[in-house]
Amino acid sequence: MRILVVEDDPLIGDGLKMGLSQLGFVVDWFRQGREGLAALTAAPFDAVVLDLGLPGMDGMDILTAWRKAGQDVPVLVLTARDALDDRLKGLDAGADDYLVKPFALSEVAARLRALIRRRHGQTSNRLSHGRVSLDPVARTAWLGEVPLELTARELALLELLLSSKDRVLPRELIEEKLYGWGQELESNAVEVYVHHLRKKLGAAFIRTQRGVGYALGEPA
Amino acid sequence: MMHQPTLQRRLAILLLVSVPLIWLVSTGVAAYVAHHEVDELYDTQLTLFARQLLIVNMGEHGDDLPLLPKTKKLIRGGDRGEAEDDDIGLAVWNADGNLLLSDGKGRRFTFDASRRGFYSVRADDGKDEWRLFYLPAPDGTRLVAVGQRQKLRHEVVVKVIEGQLLPWLLGLPVLLLLILWAVRKGLRPLQQVAGELGQRSVLDSTPLSENVPGEVLPMVQALNALFARIAEAMEHERRFTADAAHELRTPLAALQVQAEVMALMPDEAGRQHALQQLQLGIQRATRLLAQLLALSRLDPLQGLLSPQPVDWQQISRDALSDVTTAAAAKDTVLETHWQTSTKAVLPLNGDATLLTLLLRNLLDNAVRYCPAGSRIELLLLADEVVVQDNGPGIEAQWLSRVQERFFRPPGQEMPGSGLGLSIVERIASLHGLQMQLSNRDEGGLRVSLQRAA
């Protein structure tokens, strides 16, 4: 799941990027309000972590601008101001959730997952297709009762496929979801991960739509 | 409050003492004047009476004195008025002292051929005092004496005084009550103000009604001005506390996030990175706390405690030594220029510790915000102390705002509290100095401290 972090504080921003990456997210971090504003439309982000006190352009203005432009990406607002008034203002401006500093990284991750799940209309935390199931929090997938040995990227691809049932995912979209900006990307990386998953879950598990991309196939 | 002399009591005492005193004096004056007038009136009458007696030719009766019965009998039932026969008297003697004529108490008047004019005489019985007028005939054949009891005159004076005194005595309590009522009514607005103040909440800054008497208005206006100032100060405090809380939450959030990242990182390199970030965060929080404490100590100061002549050499040495390590790490050059003798630099009485803190903040800012390899100069002049650098300077639009507490121009790579220049400015103003920030034409920031105009 690809997350946009807009946070001016270098330590918090760095921590969010490093920590959320470890928790299975693909993170892009921007420090300036204006960069953050423009970044949202440049890649298919699943959710945004937005700090309200930003230099250059206030977080609230960015949020308002996004919502005005019809962006419905879930936004988690971070704020150091805990006055009720400030929180209400954030929610009114179109935030889906907020956290008051200082916060726990695990809570940011949990709330992001909840926001994304809600957006996809899922109620259960667990993703599944046939006998294959995946726990986004535990970062583990199972075939029946047997845990699967998957790398972080393979797990991310599986998570992407499971959360986009009945959809064909274009190759470029998969690339963008799996890699943040500035991350090294080999030309056939997606094919490699698809190949690995097919080896572990069966060739029919992932269906290739020639010239378009990939979709979930037969349940394993 | 009960033991404080109230205005009412003071007024009452003043009135009770002064009014009788004034009455006493005015009564004395009135008595004196009345006495004088009564004397004048009666003396004139006596004189006239005596002259008339001399004019009347009554022959030489000698033994055959005509005696009138009492007036009461003469008028028999007629209105006698207030007349009293025994209070007056007359006597006429011939040269030998034989009584030719007498009436009233005149028979008892003493014949003395040498007497002329007025005499005050005590009667034989010693009780009454009489006022007598002796008038001899021009040819010396007769002597007339007419007289009047002094009591008569005293009575007139006393009656006059009484007539004047009585209404005053009766009026005193009424006057007192009226005055107390007026005072109480006049002071009611004060009590109202006191009542309003008593019920006022600490946070209430609405002004008191200025619909009060002129005497109370200056006090109410002063109070309203005070409320406004207090409200302003409290708003300032509130904003500062909110800002401080905000600024403290951010470094805490950084620490929390980095600590979690450190626990999450699977590899040693990642843990090292998080540890470094954690240390940076701790440094930042420590620095922020130190700045906040410095500012909170500086804020309530009204002035310097014990200003001493300032030794800029010592101060600059101390301030520079605190930043040399950081400067060396960035290859930044620190230069000190004495453009006058060390003794002649900006002569000042002040607190060396505070001035060192001031200078260190300026130098620290310069080191912090200038790119590596920059050149920072400390200029010590006769009328100015300057810290200038050849870094990026401050965008013109932010120049006037950087002294604001917690304000930091956007796009800062370096962490900072946004309090450094607030501290500098506070210390400068305690020393009567003015801080001026400007961008140098050749690039870089120039911060100058001069005596405030």
Cβ separation of A55 and B411 shorter than 8 Å? yes
d(Cα A212, Cα B241) in Å, to the nearest integer? Answer: 57
B431 and B352 assigned to the same domain: yes
One-letter amino acid identity for A156? Answer: A
Residue-wise pLDDT tens digits, B269-283: 999 999 999 998 898
Q: Could you tell me if residue B91 is inside a domain?
A: yes
Task: DSSP for B64-87, please give it.
Answer: ----PPPHHHHHTTS--TT--GGG
Position B388 scores a pLDDT of 93
Q: Which residues contact B340 (CB under 8 A, 6 or more apart)?
A: B380, B381, B382
Residue A84 touches chain B, beta carbons under 8 Å: no
Q: Which residue range(s) make up the domain with B425?
A: 308-451
B162 and B63 assigned to the same domain: yes
At residue B436's C-alpha, the angle toward residues B431 and B439, to 5°, is 155
Say whether pLDDT at B255 is over 90: yes
User: Beta strands A132-135 and A140-143: pairing type?
Assistant: antiparallel
A7, A51 in Cβ contact below 8 A? yes
Task: DSSP for B171-190, please give it.
Answer: HHHHHHHHHHHHHHHHHHHH
Q: Could you tell me if residue B206 is inside a domain?
A: no
d(Cα A67, Cα A205) in Å, to the nearest integer? Answer: 37
Residue A15 touches chain B, beta carbons under 8 Å: yes
One-letter amino acid identity for B382? Answer: A
> What are A12's two structure tokens?
């918090």
> What are B247's two structure tokens?
């600024």
B439, B399 in Cβ contact below 8 A? yes
B255 and B397 assigned to the same domain: no
Exposure on the CB side of residue B422, measured as CA atoms within 13 A: 21
Partner residue facing B250 (CB), from A31, A80, A83: A80
The total number of structural domains in chain B stands at 3
Cβ separation of B257 and A19 shorter than 8 Å? yes
Residue in this structure with the two tokens 């033994």, named with its chain if needed: B63
B115 and B177 assigned to the same domain: yes
Residue-wise pLDDT tens digits, A178-217: 887 777 777 788 888 899 888 888 888 888 888 888 988 8
One-letter amino acid identity for B253? Answer: A
Residue ending a domain, choose from B168, B199, B230: B199
B419 and B396 assigned to the same domain: yes
At residue B326's C-alpha, the angle toward residues B324 and B330, to 5°, is 110
Say whether pLDDT at B3 is over 70: no
Residue ending a domain, choose from B199, B232, B258: B199
Position B65 scores a pLDDT of 62
Position B140 scores a pLDDT of 82
Percentage of residues in chain B having pLDDT higher than 90: 17
**Mean pLDDT value across residues B209-216:** 80
Distance from the Cα of A22 to chain B's closest Cα (Å) equals 7
Q: How confident is the model at residue B59 (pLDDT cuts 50, 70, 90)?
A: low
Position B248 scores a pLDDT of 83
Integer CA distances (angstroms), B408 to B17, B359, B404, B419, B422, in order = 72, 19, 9, 9, 11
Q: At what angle do helices A152-162 and A171-178 cross, to 10 degrees?
A: 130
d(Cα A184, Cα B441) in Å, to the nearest integer? Answer: 44
Residue A11 touches chain B, beta carbons under 8 Å: yes
Partner residue facing B277 (CB), from A11, A23, A102: A11
> What are B300's two structure tokens?
């309530």
Which residues of chain A are under the pLDDT cut of 50?
none
Distance from the Cα of B360 to chain A's closest Cα (Å) equals 24
B112 and B181 assigned to the same domain: yes
Q: Give first-to-last CA distance, chain B, whole Å.
A: 47
Cβ separation of B257 and A105 shorter than 8 Å? yes
CB pairs A-B closer than 8 Å:
94
Q: Could you tell me if residue B210 is inside a domain?
A: no
Q: How confident is the model at residue B244 (pLDDT cuts 50, 70, 90)?
A: confident
Mean pLDDT of chain B: 84
B48 and B2 assigned to the same domain: yes
Among residues A66, A56, A60, which one has the least CA distance to residue A35?
A: A56
Partner residue facing A80 (CB), from B249, B412, B413: B249
Q: Give first-to-last CA distance, chain A, whole Å.
A: 23
Q: Which of A9, A11, A76 to mutate to probe the B interface, most B CBs <10 Å?
A: A11
Residue-wise pLDDT tens digits, B141-189: 889 999 888 888 888 888 888 887 788 778 878 877 888 888 788 778 7
Distance from the Cα of A14 to chain B's closest Cα (Å) equals 8
B171 and B115 assigned to the same domain: yes
Residue-wise pLDDT tens digits, B388-439: 999 888 888 888 888 777 777 766 666 677 788 888 988 998 898 999 999 9
A76, A112 in Cβ contact below 8 A? yes
Q: Could you tell me if residue B209 is inside a domain?
A: no
Exposure on the CB side of residue B344, measured as CA atoms within 13 A: 6
DSSP B166: H
List beta partners, residue B389: B376
Query: Domain containing B288 — which CATH number?
Result: 1.10.287
Q: How confident is the model at residue B376 (pLDDT cuts 50, 70, 90)?
A: very high
ipTM exceeding 0.90, yes/no: no
Q: Could you tell me if residue B78 is inside a domain?
A: no
Question: How many Å separate Cα B163 from the centre of its chain?
Answer: 45
User: Beta strands A206-209 and A169-170: pairing type?
Assistant: unpaired
Cβ separation of B253 and A32 shorter than 8 Å? no
For the entire predicted model, the pTM comes to 0.57
Position B66 scores a pLDDT of 64
Residue-wise pLDDT tens digits, B342-351: 777 787 888 8
Query: Domain containing B312 — which CATH number?
Result: 3.30.565.10
Q: How confident is the model at residue B195 (pLDDT cuts 50, 70, 90)?
A: confident
Say whether pLDDT at B445 is over 80: yes
Q: How confident is the model at residue B111 (pLDDT cuts 50, 70, 90)?
A: confident
B144 and B228 assigned to the same domain: no
* Contact residues, chain B, for A16 at CB < 8 Å: 257
Q: Which residues contact A51 (CB under 8 A, 6 or more apart)?
A: A6, A7, A8, A9, A12, A59, A77, A78, A79
A137, A1 in Cβ contact below 8 A? no
Q: Could you tell me if residue B376 is inside a domain?
A: yes
Nearest CA in chain B to A16: B257
Q: Could you tell me if residue B426 is inside a domain?
A: yes
Say whether pLDDT at B1 is over 50: no
Among residues A21, A170, A15, A28, which one has the least CA distance to residue B262?
A: A15
Q: Could you tell me if residue B76 is inside a domain?
A: no
Position A3 scores a pLDDT of 94
Residue-wise pLDDT tens digits, B64-88: 666 677 777 778 878 877 777 778 8
Helix (H, G, I), strand (E, B) or coil at A10: helix
B430 and B398 assigned to the same domain: yes
* Contact residues, chain B, for A8 at CB < 8 Å: 410
B292 and B396 assigned to the same domain: no
Residue-wise pLDDT tens digits, B417-428: 778 888 898 899
Higher model confidence: residue B293 or residue B245?
Answer: B293
**Mean pLDDT value across residues B115-124:** 84
Position B169 scores a pLDDT of 78
- For residue B210, the tally of other CB atoms under 10 A from its CB is 10
At residue B33's C-alpha, the angle toward residues B29 and B34, to 5°, is 115
Residue ending a domain, choose from B245, B273, B298: B298
B257 and B292 assigned to the same domain: yes
